[in-house]
Structure 1
């Protein structure tokens, strides 16, 4: 088993657990982010990538905080932590990529997928002419509440194919 396969299995299990907990309870566990993020940080430290990982983390936190302040978005602190872990994963896989460009690609793909998810729920709610409630997905009038772990998982899958 190659290192890339091991990394992919770790991030896949991490993301699937996050999708499950985010979809069911609209919460993710801090310990889980710390454990997997710490794993990727230690691997990066062994490979002399600390500076690149720190830059990726800082940029992700900055953009995550900015995105959480945008009206009609549901990006929370746990989602920003997931994006940080994803950024460390991709930085470990591709250390030659500039962390700013890497994080911008991750965030842009995530924004598009999140927009599609929100739009689908708005359209379904409009045509049903009532509010929708499915696990932690719900609409309340004009407000749409969706867990963001699924768009982040799809982001990982799409970028992994590049």
Structure 2
């Protein structure tokens, strides 16, 4: 098994556990993010990869995530931003022949469109149920906002990048 396959395997495990915990509790765990960051950095160092590229990737995604979280109506939390950073590091390592900026752009664009689609779908369900407030495991609608597990659109974006790019 080469390093790219190992990174894909680890990334999918990371994402699946995050999706399960995010759907069940609307939270992702810091120790989970930190563990995978340490594993990623260890493997990257052993492989002699350029850590400057990863540092730039992480910083860029962190800045974009913080800006996105400040947009009214979004439910991107701190754990979701950390997840985006870890995911982008893995994707840049896996898709090293692709442009760093292209990967970040597709990840963010895929995330935003998928998140918007899921939020719109939940709003339609709310309208069809004729209820202003309701919740079901991981999804919550109040008078002011719609809260969804953001790990789902991030996972969909990752799968799109892994398959098509």
Give yes or no for TM over 0.5.
Answer: yes
Q: CA deviation at 1:44?
A: 2.7
> Structure 1 CA distance, aligned partners of 2:31 and 2:50?
23
Matching residue of 1:146? 148
Q: CA deviation at 1:156?
A: 1.0
Q: Which moved more, 1:61-70 or 1:100-109?
A: 100-109
Matching residue of 2:129? 128
Structure 2 CA distance for partners of 1:50 and 1:90, relative to 1, 3 Å: same
SS in 2 for 1:161: helix
Counterpart check, 1:40 vs 2:40? yes
Q: Which moved more, 1:3-12 or 1:110-119?
A: 3-12
> Structure 2 CA distance, aligned partners of 1:7 and 1:52?
16
5+ residue gaps in structure 2?
none
Q: CA deviation at 1:108?
A: 0.8
Give the aligned CA root-mean-square deviation in angstroms.
1.4
> Structure 2 CA distance, aligned partners of 1:150 and 1:33?
16
Q: CA deviation at 1:129?
A: 0.8
Q: CA deviation at 1:135?
A: 1.2
Q: How many residues matched?
A: 162
SS in 1 for 2:141: strand
